[in-house]
């Protein structure tokens, strides 16, 4: 059309050049060797990808240590050669956080906001230095992404001459009460499943560093600053991370187990999609009773009947046998508080040492019930650290973030941890009877009966019922 009108030259908006820097002495680039207390730099890749996705040109300049002179030189050089500077980390007000202290020296007017009423994302720092935006994102990846999309993307798109980002939203029911903090708008990641009366949004995890939850979520819901919770049964608007809802072929909600990955892998290779949400045995049973899943993995012991799982089923649910697994206390090899002890001695030693840190499991999980039976009324340091998976417990102990926890034998073995056996559990599945004839459910049952699964589950260290 321009040529037909005889127009040879027009004014256009070129792509913004955005410099990306990560900060922190602890950061190691992916592919490098992880030293003690080090973490891989996820933000460099995440922020750069988000900038590219929103029509700008990202230049990742690496991770800088928490040295004020070195970082200031890098920031000045980056800002001189780019239109926008985006950093992550160093925005809190601790002694080791230096990014925000440098910003005011880069040009006028400097910092315009330091701290926002968002969760996650409170430490965000926003500045303008001689006409160029400078952003210091929180160091935790989830905080960085929510603040980036909520506050930075609109600025980048407007500067680049692009229309506002179009976000797809769907309505869904939230089945569980979600606690929130008064005074800050909170973003909560959710996974979507098909319920009996429409979409259901399951919270997949909260916290600034919940990278895995972010990767597995379909979107998020917002809880307004003046609310201290979102009640169970609320109708919520879910902002999607992708343009379309991805309803899986099979939904599994309940207890976590590494053996479940083997079944899911067989189904994936058959072309089926599976959504697995770890909410614990009790949460899985509740979801099954509401018709929000196909299977609920459970391992619940009934003291009255001295049996597993079957006494907890209600009308509309039937038991599918899974496998047997050994639960136990894990610790780092050589720890004299645990080495060569039985479970009762190990717990007494842990409780007697005020410096002994535990790692717990999430409320509603069968493992949490077992831990509470071990501890009685005691609540040692680390009790409120409640990860949702066995692997997370093992990682916390192996990485010296905790001294002991409870997990399953195959996970302990793969992490190289000491193991004190507690009890063998029956890890079974509550099947929603009304869904039994669905093709994906039949595929799951066939996978459980397959030689591939039975051989694999035994290699992992589990046993199948005779």
User: Above 60 in pLDDT, residue 448?
Assistant: yes
Examine the domain organization and report whether 426 and 460 are in the same domain.
yes
Sign, Cα dihedral of 391, 394, 395, 396: positive
Give the pLDDT of residue 55.
92
Examine the domain organization and report whether 264 and 177 are in the same domain.
no
Give the pLDDT of residue 195.
84
Examine the domain organization and report whether 312 and 378 are in the same domain.
yes
Torsion angle of C-alpha atoms 411, 417, 420, 421, degrees rounded to 10: 20
Q: Are 68 and 4 in contact (CB under 8 A)?
A: no
Cβ neighbours for 114, distance < 8 A, ≥ 6 positions apart? 91, 100, 123, 124, 125, 126
Domain boundary among 214, 240, 266: 240
DSSP 219: E
Query: Dmax over Cα atoms in the chain, in whole Å?
Result: 89
Examine the domain organization and report whether 451 and 393 are in the same domain.
yes
User: Above 50 in pLDDT, residue 119?
Assistant: yes
User: Above 70 in pLDDT, residue 90?
Assistant: no
User: Above 60 in pLDDT, residue 214?
Assistant: yes
Encode pLDDT of 228-239 as tens digits: 899 999 999 999
| CA distance linking residue 66 with residue 379, whole number of Å | 36
Examine the domain organization and report whether 76 and 117 are in the same domain.
yes
- The whole-number average pLDDT for the span 297-324 is 93
Whole-Å CA distances, 271 to 248, 262, 264, 265: 11, 15, 11, 10
Q: Are 95 and 72 in contact (CB under 8 A)?
A: no
Give domain status of residue 367, yes or no: yes
Q: Which two tokens stand for residue 64?
A: 């800088």
- The whole-number average pLDDT for the span 328-340 is 95
Count H helices, E strands: the chain? 14, 24
User: Above 60 in pLDDT, residue 95?
Assistant: no
What is the residue range of 38's domain? Answer: 17-159
DSSP per-residue codes, 221-236? EEE-TT-SEE-TTEEE
Examine the domain organization and report whether 121 and 205 are in the same domain.
no
- Helix 451-459 to helix 439-449 angle, to the nearest 10 degrees? 60
Sign, Cα dihedral of 415, 253, 146, 182: negative
- The whole-number average pLDDT for the span 93-121 is 81
Give the pLDDT of residue 208.
47
- CA angle at residue 42 from 182 to 107, to 5 degrees? 75
The pLDDT > 90 percentage for the chain reads: 61
Examine the domain organization and report whether 306 and 228 are in the same domain.
no
Q: Is 275 helix (H, G, I), strand (E, B) or coil?
A: strand
Give domain status of residue 179, yes or no: yes
What mean pLDDT, rounded, does the chain reach? 90
End-to-end CA distance of the chain: 76
Phi, psi of 364 (to 5 degrees): 95, -15
Give the pLDDT of residue 206.
57
Examine the domain organization and report whether 272 and 235 are in the same domain.
no
Examine the domain organization and report whether 336 and 460 are in the same domain.
yes
152: domain CATH number is: 3.40.980.10
Sign, Cα dihedral of 311, 314, 320, 325: negative
User: Above 70 in pLDDT, residue 149?
Assistant: yes
Give domain status of residue 5, yes or no: no
Domain boundary among 112, 136, 159: 159
Q: Are 42 and 211 in contact (CB under 8 A)?
A: yes
Give the pLDDT of residue 87.
92
Lowest mean pLDDT among 83-97, 328-342, 377-391: 83-97
Looking from the CA of 177 toward its CB, the CA atoms found within 13 Å total: 5
- The whole-number average pLDDT for the span 35-61 is 90
The residue count for the chain: 466
Give the pLDDT of residue 210.
59
Give domain status of residue 427, yes or no: yes
- The whole-number average pLDDT for the span 80-102 is 78
- The whole-number average pLDDT for the span 453-463 is 93
386: domain CATH number is: 3.40.190.290
Examine the domain organization and report whether 150 and 113 are in the same domain.
yes
Count of domains observed in the chain = 3
Give the pLDDT of residue 83.
95
Whole-Å CA distances, 36 to 27, 33, 400: 11, 10, 9
Examine the domain organization and report whether 236 and 254 are in the same domain.
no
Owner of token pair 């046998």? 321
Q: Which two tokens stand for residue 112?
A: 């315009």
Helix (H) or strand (E) holding 369: helix 366-375
Q: Are 65 and 71 in contact (CB under 8 A)?
A: yes
Is the model's pTM score more than 0.85? no
For residue 426, what pLDDT band results from cuts at 50, 70 and 90? very high
Q: Are 159 and 185 in contact (CB under 8 A)?
A: no
Give the pLDDT of residue 93.
55
222: domain CATH number is: 2.40.340.10
Give domain status of residue 419, yes or no: yes
| CA distance linking residue 67 with residue 80, whole number of Å | 20
Give the pLDDT of residue 101.
81
For residue 207, what pLDDT band results from cuts at 50, 70 and 90? low
Encode pLDDT of 388-413 as tens digits: 889 889 999 998 999 999 999 999 99
Burial of 272 (C-beta count, 10 Å sphere; 0-12/13-18/19+): middle
For residue 36, what pLDDT band results from cuts at 50, 70 and 90? confident
Owner of token pair 């060797």? 33
The pLDDT > 70 percentage for the chain reads: 97
| CA distance linking residue 108 with residue 444, whole number of Å | 62
| CA distance linking residue 327 with residue 315, whole number of Å | 29
């Amino acid at each position: 059309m321009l040529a037909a009108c005889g127009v040879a030259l027009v004014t256009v908006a070129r792509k913004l050049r955005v410099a990306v820097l990560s900060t922190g002495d602890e950061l190691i680039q992916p592919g490098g060797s992880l030293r003690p207390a080090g973490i891989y730099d996820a933000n460099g890749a995440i922020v750069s990808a988000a900038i590219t996705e929103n029509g700008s040109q990202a230049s990742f300049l690496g991770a800088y240590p928490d040295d004020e002179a070195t970082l200031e030189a890098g920031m000045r050089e980056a800002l001189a050669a780019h239109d926008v500077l985006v950093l992550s980390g160093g925005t809190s007000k601790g002694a080791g956080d230096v990014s925000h202290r440098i910003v005011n020296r880069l040009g006028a007017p400097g910092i315009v906001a330091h701290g926002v009423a968002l969760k996650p994302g409170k430490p965000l720092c926003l500045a303008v230095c001689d006409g160029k935006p400078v952003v210091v994102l929180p160091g935790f990846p989830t905080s960085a992404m929510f603040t980036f999309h909520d506050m930075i993307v609109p600025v980048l798109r407007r500067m680049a001459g692009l229309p506002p980002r179009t976000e797809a939203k769907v309505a869904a029911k939230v089945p569980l009460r979600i606690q929130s903090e008064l005074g800050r708008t909170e973003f909560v990641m959710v996974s979507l499943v098909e319920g009996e009366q429409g979409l259901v949004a399951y919270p997949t995890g909260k916290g600034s560093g919940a990278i895995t939850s972010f990767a597995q979520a379909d979107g998020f819901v917002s809880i307004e600053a003046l609310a201290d919770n979102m009640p169970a049964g609320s109708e919520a608007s879910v902002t999607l991370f992708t343009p379309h809802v991805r309803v899986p072929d099979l939904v599994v909600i309940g207890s976590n187990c590494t053996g479940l990955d083997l079944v899911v892998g067989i189904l994936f290779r058959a072309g089926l999609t599976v959504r697995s949400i770890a909410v614990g045995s009790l949460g899985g049973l509740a979801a099954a009773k509401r018709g929000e899943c196909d299977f609920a993995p459970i391992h619940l012991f009934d003291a009255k009947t001295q049996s597993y799982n079957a006494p907890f089923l209600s009308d509309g649910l039937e038991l599918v046998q899974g496998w047997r697994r050994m639960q136990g206390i894990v610790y780092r090899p050589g720890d004299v508080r645990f080495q060569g002890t039985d479970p009762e001695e190990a717990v007494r030693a842990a409780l007697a040492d005020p410096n002994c840190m535990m790692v717990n499991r999430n409320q509603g999980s069968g493992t949490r019930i077992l831990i509470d039976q071990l501890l009685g009324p005691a609540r040692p340091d680390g009790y409120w650290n409640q990860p949702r998976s066995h692997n997370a417990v093992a990682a916390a102990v192996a990485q010296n973030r905790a001294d002991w926890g409870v997990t399953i034998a195959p996970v302990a073995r793969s992490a190289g941890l000491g193991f004190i056996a507690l009890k063998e559990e029956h890890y079974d599945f509550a099947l929603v009877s009304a869904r039994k004839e669905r093709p994906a459910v039949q595929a799951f049952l066939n996978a459980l009966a397959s030689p591939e699964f039975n051989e694999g589950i035994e290699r992992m260290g589990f046993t199948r019922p005779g």
